């Protein structure tokens, strides 16, 4: 079964972008790049909702795995960059046409992800900040949560976690400091 | 100048109690007790708003320093417990009488805390979860943030951070794993 990871860089108060959409506070360093590179090597599919897609597209390609800092690399577009090509699934009930580099999913998101997880392949990255994560959490199809907590309070903005209907247990699998006062925390979801 | 610390045990999604006020998910262990004991030895004053007081009083005395898990020990009430007595300042514009063990502050909270910080004494603990923290953050009188992040998503509840008007920089001063998959993160506030 493929693993679905929900991840992002976030502020200590849990925002992945400020109220103006700014992500200038995200710190890039050699150890973050190494972590990203290792993470992307385990992934061949990316999931995101329409709003997250629009936001990510506006930010440009690249950035933290699963974060607001950019959509996943388009298949075949980043040869030689060290970032593997991935399939990008864009969930929307309103779009009629898939933007370039994406596959449009207008069917039930939970059913789609359950089917995708059973197919052969590598890990699946769920982009942070969208409403999609809530329904996928509640359906028990998210396996891992990864946060790179930055030393800043943004005060308001795009929350990484939105209200869930119930409590979800986690198991800490990794925790370590990164350059710039960041703390990486990785959890297995107790589904 | 005395140091004001804003701290709590919280869920990964930033709540210090669930929507029913439950804190049954908070994990106590020898290393948390040691951290708490060391922390309380540096503190001789506690600040909280009226709602936090009511919530804390309902939970009973004791628990995580600066958390929802209980009000600070009442002066003189915990001799021999290893927990030092502290002064508890309760901020309220509506209460006319101080509950037992507290000093009522109905004047401007920022001015009061600025004056308190200049007086001789040990550290000052600001209890988590109240609206008081927002105005004190914005006034630049909070010096330190301490979080014991628990491996759970509560989904909804009492948030540790409430919306601030602006961005506040932090400096990570400590980060380490605690028993039970908890992660302690301590920050200096860049005021």
* Local confidence pLDDT in tens for the 191 residues of chain A: 999 999 999 999 999 999 999 999 999 999 999 999 999 999 999 999 988 888 878 876 444 444 434 444 444 444 444 455 799 999 999 999 999 889 999 999 999 999 999 999 999 999 977 789 999 999 999 999 999 999 999 999 999 999 899 999 999 999 999 999 999 999 999 99
Give chain B's domain count: 1
The answer to whether B163 and B149 are in contact (CB under 8 A) is no
Number of Cβ within a 10 Å radius of residue A15: 27
The answer to whether B92 and B116 are in contact (CB under 8 A) is no
Output the domain CATH number for residue B80.
3.40.430.10
The residues near B102 (Cβ < 8 Å, ≥ 6 apart) are B53, B88, B89, B90
Q: What local confidence, expressed as pLDDT, does residue B70 receive?
A: 41
- For B175, which of A13, A167, A183 is closest by C-beta distance? A183
Beta-bridged to residue B175, according to DSSP, are: B185
Question: Quick one: closest CA in A to B167, which residue?
Answer: A154
Q: Is A158 inside any structural domain?
A: no
Q: ipTM value of the model?
A: 0.88
pLDDT above 70 (res B72): no
B152 touches chain A (CB under 8 A): yes
Q: pTM (2 decimals)?
A: 0.88
Q: Is A157 inside any structural domain?
A: no
Q: Is A184 inside any structural domain?
A: no
Residue B64 binned pLDDT confidence (cut-offs 50, 70, 90):
very low
State percent of chain B over pLDDT 70.
87
Residues of B in contact with A172 (CB under 8 A): 151, 177, 181-183
Q: Is A115 inside any structural domain?
A: yes
Q: In terms of residue numbers, what domain contains A73?
A: 27-120
B24 touches chain A (CB under 8 A): no
The whole-angstrom separation of Cα B113 and Cα B133 is: 11
Q: Is A22 inside any structural domain?
A: no
Q: Is A1 inside any structural domain?
A: no
- For B14, which of A14, A145, A183 is closest by C-beta distance? A14
């Amino acid at each position: 079964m493929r693993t679905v990871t929900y991840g992002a860089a976030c502020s200590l108060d849990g925002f992945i972008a400020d109220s103006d959409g700014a992500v200038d506070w995200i710190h890039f360093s050699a150890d973050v790049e190494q972590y990203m590179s290792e993470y992307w090597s385990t992934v061949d599919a990316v999931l995101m909702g329409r709003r997250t897609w629009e936001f990510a597209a506006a930010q440009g390609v690249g950035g933290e795995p699963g974060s607001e800092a950019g959509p996943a690399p388009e298949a075949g577009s980043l040869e030689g960059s060290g970032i593997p090509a991935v399939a990008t699934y864009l969930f929307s009930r309103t779009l009629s046409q898939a933007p370039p580099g994406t596959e449009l999913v207008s069917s039930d998101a939970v059913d789609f992800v359950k089917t995708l997880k059973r197919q052969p392949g590598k890990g699946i990255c769920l982009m942070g900040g969208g409403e999609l994560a809530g329904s996928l959490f509640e359906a028990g199809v998210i396996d891992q949560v990864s946060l790179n907590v930055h030393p800043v309070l943004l005060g308001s903005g795009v929350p990484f976690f939105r209200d869930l209907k119930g409590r979800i247990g986690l198991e800490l699998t990794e925790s370590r400091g990164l350059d710039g006062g960041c703390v990486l925390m990785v959890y297995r979801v107790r589904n």
